[in-house]
């Protein structure tokens, strides 16, 4: 019985419906959707001297991650 209590205490579940997490996820979504394909690509190309193709692919991946996060937030009704 004690073992089960310890396991339940060790499991920490994140409450994604709290205001703090919703705000963080919305800001992260905005960053991934808008800044990812623009500023991150710019920084990769001109500042870090990464190949153009690699930087464009990374920008596209960030855009898709942002869109997926928007879809998740709308589906879970955290954003209406």
The mean pLDDT of 51-68, rounded to a whole number, is 95
Q: 4-8, 10-14, 55-59 — which one is most confidently predicted on average?
A: 55-59
Q: What is the pLDDT of residue 38?
A: 93
Is pLDDT of 56 > 90? Answer: yes
Q: For the whole model, what pTM was predicted?
A: 0.74
Is pLDDT of 2 > 70? Answer: no
The torsion angle over the Cα atoms of residues 80, 71, 78 and 29, rounded to 10 degrees, is -100
d(CA 36, CA 70): 14
Q: What is the pLDDT of residue 46?
A: 94
């Amino acid at each position: 019985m004690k073992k089960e209590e310890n396991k339940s205490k060790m499991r920490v579940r994140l409450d994604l419906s709290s205001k703090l997490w919703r705000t963080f996820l919305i800001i992260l979504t905005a960053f991934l959707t808008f800044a990812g394909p623009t500023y991150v690509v710019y920084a990769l190309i001109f500042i870090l001297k990464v190949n153009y193709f690699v930087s464009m692919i990374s920008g596209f991946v960030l855009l898709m991650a942002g869109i997926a996060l928007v879809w998740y937030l709308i589906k879970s009704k955290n954003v209406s």
